[in-house]
Structure 1
Amino acid sequence: MKYFKIIFILGLVGIFNPSCTKELDLDDDTQLKIEKQGKLEKLDLLFDLAFNDPEKAEVDFENFLQTELITETQNFLSDPDVNNKYTLTKLAIQLNVDHSKALASLDKKSLFNIYKKMYEVDLSNRTLWGSIPEQLKQGEQLKKFEAKMTEIGDSYKKVIAEFKEKSQVDAAITEIDWWGGIFAYKPDFSKFYSGSFSFKLNKDKSWDYDSFFFIPAIPKIGALAGAQEEKEFNPELLLSPLQYEVYGDRIFFHFHIKNNYDYESQSGKLERVWNYEYKYVLKDGTLVLSEPRILNYMFPALISIGYDDPVFKTNYLEPFMGFEKDIVLSAM
């Protein structure tokens, strides 16, 4: 009995004394699972950091990739769960970093340029969203990603609203019925363009529409999207009221048109936006429009071209369009 007590006491000492315990041996699969969980948790932290400090998140993410996700003995990106989380985190960082850079470099002097940047950002962000793995298109992280997309879109809408609030009206061109026509054709006479302008600009920046020729948006050579035209435009299709803006010697027209595509007849088009900017001047009682810039956005196609684009003369060959020439509108 005496020896039994001694053995029992020694046993207790062995249990509670760490120096006497033997480390737990983990098999390779268990060890790998523990390491994998650590990588997933780190990616979650980097995902959150992307929304608070995107520049730091970008640096930390690259270091994490090179030092922990891919090592000499292990490539954790070969695991589907880690790879999906890696992709989502990378997209979140790009979403936030791109927004920070784009907003900082935004040209706020031209409404045309503001809209162009907004559409470029929207196209990029929607493409990023489409790249999110299907397995992760649910849950709180997706909601956070989508909320940031909405926030980014709202930031551009705010800039546009502030621009419009500050812009002035040129009384000399308002409350007058302006009318004029345009005619152009391909060199081989295979296609003709004939359009008219007939409208009145109001002092509240609205305008009364009778006709407005949508100069076709012809993309740069090699673009995925083909030329876009707006035929038989109906103001009832507008998603926002007709408005114009004047800034400096430029006049800007904006058209946001609803989806009127009919799948059975395969006619109409998806939701789209047309923006036109012209240099304008009053000359001998006429309103002269020149130096056109054209912006057409119908996701996922964005076409931006104008007089200042090197390929403008290539795409709008004389006398194919003749849109480099002035458009002269007379007062009726």
Structure 2
Amino acid sequence: MKHIYLLLFTALAVTIFSSCTKELDLDEETLLLLEKQEKLERLDELFYLAFKEPVRAETEYNQFVRDELITETQNFLLNNEVNNSYTFTKLAIQLNLDHHKIAGGYNQTTLFEIYKTMYEVDLSNRTLWGSIPEQVKSGEQLELFEKKMKEIKAFHQDQIALFMAQNKTDESLTNKTWVGMGFAYKPDFSAFYSINFNFVLHDDKSWDYEDFFFMPAIPKTGALAGAQEEKDLDKDDLLSPLKYAVYDDRIFFHFHIRNNYNYEDQSGKLERVWNYEYKYELREGQLLLTEPRILNYMFPVLHSIDHDGEDYKKNYLEAFIGFDQGFTLSIQ
């Protein structure tokens, strides 16, 4: 009889112990869920902080990742929900921090550099947007992210407008029809360009043209995309009125062209911009355009060509006959 009681007591003890073990496991699982929720809430806090104090947000974010998201016993980034929030917060900090640094030390002194900075920022921001995990690409946080992108774009457009307002036209250039023509070609005739200019600059910084030579953007070997050209541009494809600027001894032309790509016959191109800056000199009634700088931006490719660069020397001056003397225009 004693043996029966002993067996019953043992069975009861095992049952109680098993029950406690299951409750303990459940508590650990609940604790883990609570910890995960805390991490998500903290990441949300850091996300919104990025739009107010990006430097502080970056510091606290790095510390949070190091001390709390990845520990000796737990890696919360293995959880998809936490990882997505971690990534989105990181992108938000980068978006705001980059703008904070640029806006805080903005010192571009030419329209060429202002546009170049704007294109670089646009390329970076659109790349950040594209990196947002699809699972969180909606809702209030996405709206805030996209709103900031628009604000950053407006900031750079304001810099352009301010620069244009502060610089006057050169009366010796305006209200005249400037024409010029020439040729540039490779010695083996594998490439040939007909150079034609025919334009009028107006006092209000608008201008019009019958012909304008779109000097090709030829990047260095191994670039993301090859040489870009613009041929037979229809003025109806321009997305903004033609404007020019004169500053110091430079003249600047800007073209913003709509997406006119035809998927059926694969003609045309995506939305793009061309910017040209030349050193100009008036000499005996002629207009000399030298020392070109070229910007061609068609997301996700940005070509920046500078007459001082080795790539310009190699791809233009050494590769072609006809680019070395610049362009000479006369009054019609």
TM-score scaled to structure 1, two decimals? 0.91
User: Residue 37 of structure 2 corresponds to which residue in structure 1?
Assistant: 37
Q: Note if contact 1:180-1:196 (Cα within 8 Å) is conserved in structure 2.
A: yes
Per-residue deviation, 1:34: 0.4
Per-residue deviation, 1:151: 0.3
Question: Aligned letter for 2:94?
Answer: Q
User: Residue 203 of structure 2 corresponds to which residue in structure 1?
Assistant: 203
User: Residue 267 of structure 1 corresponds to which residue in structure 2?
Assistant: 267
Q: Distance in 1 between matches of 2:187 and 2:136?
A: 53
Per-residue deviation, 1:310: 2.5
User: Residue 320 of structure 2 corresponds to which residue in structure 1?
Assistant: 320
Q: Note if contact 2:317-2:323 (Cα within 8 Å) is conserved in structure 1.
A: no
Q: Note if contact 1:200-1:208 (Cα within 8 Å) is conserved in structure 2.
A: yes
User: Residue 233 of structure 1 corresponds to which residue in structure 2?
Assistant: 233
Describe the superposition over 1:38-89 as per-residue Cα deviations: whole angstroms up to 9, x where unpaired.
0000000000110010001001100001000000000000000000000000
Does residue 253 (structure 1) correspond to residue 253 (structure 2)? The answer is yes
User: Residue 215 of structure 2 corresponds to which residue in structure 1?
Assistant: 215
Q: Note if contact 2:43-2:89 (Cα within 8 Å) is conserved in structure 1.
A: yes
Query: Structure 1 residues 219, 230: CA separation in 2 closer, same or farther (over 3 Å shift)?
Result: same
Per-residue deviation, 1:207: 1.1
Q: Distance in 1 between matches of 2:159 and 2:321?
A: 34
User: Residue 83 of structure 2 corresponds to which residue in structure 1?
Assistant: 83
User: Residue 17 of structure 2 corresponds to which residue in structure 1?
Assistant: none
Per-residue deviation, 1:102: 1.9
Q: Distance in 1 between matches of 2:113 and 2:68?
A: 42
User: Residue 164 of structure 2 corresponds to which residue in structure 1?
Assistant: 164
Per-residue deviation, 1:309: 1.9
Q: Note if contact 2:317-2:324 (Cα within 8 Å) is conserved in structure 1.
A: no
Question: Aligned letter for 1:256?
Answer: H
SS in 1 for 2:281: strand
Q: Distance in 2 between matches of 1:107 and 1:55?
A: 21
Question: Aligned letter for 1:291?
Answer: E
Q: Distance in 2 between matches of 1:306 and 1:128?
A: 27
Per-residue deviation, 1:245: 0.5
Per-residue deviation, 1:187: 2.6
User: Residue 73 of structure 1 corresponds to which residue in structure 2?
Assistant: 73
Q: Note if contact 1:169-1:246 (Cα within 8 Å) is conserved in structure 2.
A: yes
Q: Distance in 2 between matches of 1:134 and 1:319?
A: 46
* Higher mean C-alpha deviation, range 184-193 or range 44-53: 184-193
User: Residue 282 of structure 1 corresponds to which residue in structure 2?
Assistant: 282
* Higher mean C-alpha deviation, range 185-194 or range 283-292: 185-194
Q: Note if contact 2:219-2:311 (Cα within 8 Å) is conserved in structure 1.
A: no
Describe the superposition over 1:165-212 as per-residue Cα deviations: whole angstroms up to 9, x where unpaired.
111010001111111113111232112111200111111111121100
Q: Which runs of 5+ in 1 are unaligned?
A: 1-23
User: Residue 110 of structure 1 corresponds to which residue in structure 2?
Assistant: 110
SS in 1 for 2:84: helix
Describe the superposition over 1:282-316 as per-residue Cα deviations: whole angstroms up to 9, x where unpaired.
00110000000000011111100120223211222
SS in 2 for 1:311: helix
User: Residue 302 of structure 2 corresponds to which residue in structure 1?
Assistant: 302
User: Residue 140 of structure 2 corresponds to which residue in structure 1?
Assistant: 140
Query: Structure 1 residues 221, 81: CA separation in 2 closer, same or farther (over 3 Å shift)?
Result: same
* Higher mean C-alpha deviation, range 319-328 or range 135-144: 319-328
Per-residue deviation, 1:260: 0.7
Per-residue deviation, 1:319: 4.9
Q: Note if contact 1:257-1:271 (Cα within 8 Å) is conserved in structure 2.
A: yes
Q: Distance in 1 between matches of 2:274 and 2:297?
A: 7
SS in 2 for 1:227: coil
Q: Note if contact 1:249-1:281 (Cα within 8 Å) is conserved in structure 2.
A: yes
SS in 2 for 1:27: helix
Q: Distance in 1 between matches of 2:329 and 2:127?
A: 41
* Higher mean C-alpha deviation, range 321-330 or range 307-316: 321-330
Q: Which runs of 5+ in 2 are unaligned?
A: 1-22
Q: Distance in 1 between matches of 2:196 and 2:150?
A: 38
Question: Aligned letter for 1:40?
Answer: L
Per-residue deviation, 1:317: 4.1
User: Residue 9 of structure 2 corresponds to which residue in structure 1?
Assistant: none
TM-score scaled to structure 2, two decimals? 0.91
Q: Note if contact 1:207-1:244 (Cα within 8 Å) is conserved in structure 2.
A: yes
How many percent identity over aligned positions? 62
Per-residue deviation, 1:101: 1.2
C-alpha RMSD of matched pairs (Å): 1.3
